[in-house]
């Protein structure tokens, strides 16, 4: 039985070569990408809510027959969940786009999941940044960045100011990506600044938007690197 501190504290713990342990009765839902007729990701749709156990154990190896919950299959497939993600702050890895007007766009390429919200058939965030003296363009850049599930893209209004983050709930979303080949299972999308602890006890940086691998294939575990798409 979980101790009282676990019952009251929202936290995700990575089990060595095993599942994610979720404490604190964090809501668990499913969200699916909404895409245009051209396959461009536009927003997210909440499909359903899942039962919350305390603690909850969520599949990390990608082989559970009871997804999103762990059913112990990681033992059968000898899952290697070795964690390689950088535990330093994303600010240390960010590229800053200095050509923007009234906006400072930043990107941490190492946590990108390839979700596609940062572009469409005509342009992309990177291409639009130099034209952000145009208010509609700047607004479009902001909207695209705020839909990025991993927080690979962020923005501030002025240099040396804190990033502006979308107001997201304390929640874990089982995501469904829509591709040209149809829907596929995406990462676990963790929102609301929920602490995440590695199996060795070291904390990952607490961020408003984090995408956790649940296919078992990421080379940046426990974070998603987009490998589920391939």
> For residue 76, how far is the Cα from the chain centroid?
27
- Are the C-beta atoms of residues 60 and 79 closer than 8 Å to each other? yes
| pTM exceeds 0.75, yes or no | yes
- The ranges assigned to domains in the chain are 4-87+170-229, 90-156
pLDDT digits (tens, 9 = 90+) for 92-149: 999 999 899 999 999 999 999 999 999 999 999 999 999 999 999 999 999 999 999 9
User: Residue 2: which pLDDT band, with cuts at 50, 70 and 90?
Assistant: very low
Q: Is 103 helix (H, G, I), strand (E, B) or coil?
A: coil
- The 3 state secondary structure assigned to 162-197 is CCCCCCCCCEEEEEEEEECCEEEEEEEEEECCCCEE
**DSSP H/E element including 202:** none
């Amino acid at each position: 039985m979980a101790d009282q501190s676990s019952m009251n504290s929202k936290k995700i713990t990575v089990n060595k070569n095993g599942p994610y342990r979720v404490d604190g009765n964090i809501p668990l839902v499913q969200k699916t990408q909404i895409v245009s007729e051209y396959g461009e990701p536009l927003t997210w749709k909440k499909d359903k809510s899942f039962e919350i156990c305390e603690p909850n154990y969520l599949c990390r190896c990608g082989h559970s027959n009871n997804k999103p919950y762990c059913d112990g299959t990681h033992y059968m497939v000898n899952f290697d969940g070795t964690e390689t993600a950088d535990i330093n702050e994303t600010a240390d890895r960010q590229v800053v786009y200095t050509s923007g007007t009234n906006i400072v766009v930043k990107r941490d390429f190492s946590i990108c999941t390839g979700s596609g919200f940062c572009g469409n058939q005509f342009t992309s965030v990177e291409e639009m940044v130099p034209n952000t003296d145009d208010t509609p363009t700047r607004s479009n850049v902001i909207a695209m960045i705020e839909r990025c599930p991993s927080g690979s893209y962020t923005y501030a209004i002025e240099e040396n100011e804190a990033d502006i983050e979308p107001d997201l709930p304390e929640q874990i979303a089982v995501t469904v990506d829509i591709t040209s080949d149809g829907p596929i299972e995406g990462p676990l999308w963790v929102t609301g600044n929920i602490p995440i602890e590695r199996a060795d006890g070291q904390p990952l940086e607490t961020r408003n938007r984090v995408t956790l691998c649940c296919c078992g294939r990421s080379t940046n575990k426990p974070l998603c690197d987009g490998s589920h798409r391939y």
